[in-house]
Structure 1
């Protein structure tokens, strides 16, 4: 048994601007402390890297 699926109409893609690159990446700054694997507020100078 063969079923027929109607063809969907093509929709042209569109580009939507969400702000300037500076605004979009504004939250990606270094800061002064890292708390992912160290206690909250640990200064960068106290971190150890291996």
Structure 2
């Protein structure tokens, strides 16, 4: 088998991406939640465990 044939044989066939609905945008992203904290409330470098998700 020549070099070109080896490269061609190892390429995968392209499959276009699909979109699956898994729920409403608000439920999936919690976009419907009203909280009292903004990103600016927390200083840069705040560890993840110190964040509050209100």
Band of TM-score, shorter chain: 0.3 to 0.5
Q: TM (normalized to structure 1)? A: 0.37
TM-score, structure 2 length as denominator?
0.36
Higher relative contact order (Cα pairs below 8 Å, separated by 6+ residues): 2
More helix by share: 2
